[in-house]
Homo-oligomer: A and B are copies of this chain.
Amino acid sequence: MNDQYMDVKPSNIKPPYAGAKAVVLLSGGMDSTTLLYNVLSNGYKAHALGFDYGQRHLKELAAAQKIATKARTPFKLISLASVHDNILSHAGSSQTNESVRVPHGRYDDESMKQTVVPNRNMMMLSIATSYAIVLKADIVAYAAHHGDHAIYPDCRHEFMESIHATMRICDWHPVSLYAPFREMRKENIAHHGKALGVPFDLTWSCYEGNDIHCGRCGTCVERKEAFVLSDVPDPTEYAA
């Protein structure tokens, strides 16, 4: 197992050669946007990938498209409509099942478990790896961070190490998982993003699909807190 990409700090990843490519999972939130800028600042040619898996609203994907355009990065949107209709819509997740309410409160509360989309990250990383193989890209960049561990099983260390190992051997062209934020708190990511010039005003976090961030759902609470704790100015308009 090649651990070079699992062990790096966010600022010291070096592409193995000029023109090396990276596939970046871009959701349109502040973490994956910061990751895109991190990858670009390190000298990689980035290819961003977004996923429509039937999430409650598509505001985050519209944000991802705008961010990719601003960062002059090609963006592809993969529709998993059939996976949603046949599988995910039957899960008890507030993100893919309209009859389940979005929970409000803190991100690490037990109640947030109902926002888990079963095996979402393994599916997205598998498809991103396929894209990396076709592009001959060396890494798939993925912005899971420390705050995700408690709720999301597919953001845990052991999951990331295991899927990294699988990605290295699923094809004759090895692909590495680059997950530099996995030990960082969201406020550190905000701080890192500010230094990279990330357009936070273009990013979208809210689980609700209103015109502006609701300010009450788990990701809104987490977003607000990250800006406050990092002392980075928050450009977001919140309803509450």
**Chain A positions near chain B (C-beta within 8 angstroms):** 76-83, 86-88, 90-91, 116, 118-123, 125-127, 129-131, 133-134, 153-154, 156, 158-159, 162-163, 165-167, 169-172
Contact = CB atoms under 8 A, between A and B. Distances in A.
A76 B90 CA distance: 13
Given A82-B78, A162-B165, A153 B170 contact: yes
A133 to B, nearest CB: 4
Main secondary structure of the interface of A (DSSP, over half): helix
Contact of A172 (B83, B120, B153): B153
Contact of A86 (B78, B83, B159): B78
Given A153-B172, A158-B169, A169-B159, A129 B134 contact: no
A91 B172 CA distance: 14
A88 B134 contact: yes
Given A119-B127, A159-B170, 16 more contacts: A76-B86, A78-B86, A80-B82, A83-B130, A86-B131, A118-B133, A118-B171, A119-B129, A121-B170, A122-B129, A123-B130, A153-B169, A153-B170, A153-B171, A158-B169, A159-B166
A73 to B, nearest CB: 15
18 contacts: A76-B86, A80-B82, A87-B127, A87-B130, A87-B134, A88-B134, A90-B134, A91-B134, A118-B130, A118-B171, A119-B126, A119-B133, A122-B130, A122-B166, A159-B169, A162-B165, A162-B166, A165-B166
A19 B166 CA distance: 31
Contacts of A83: 78, 127, 130
- By Cβ-Cβ distance, the 4 closest A-B pairs, closest first, are A119-B130, A79-B82, A118-B133, A162-B166
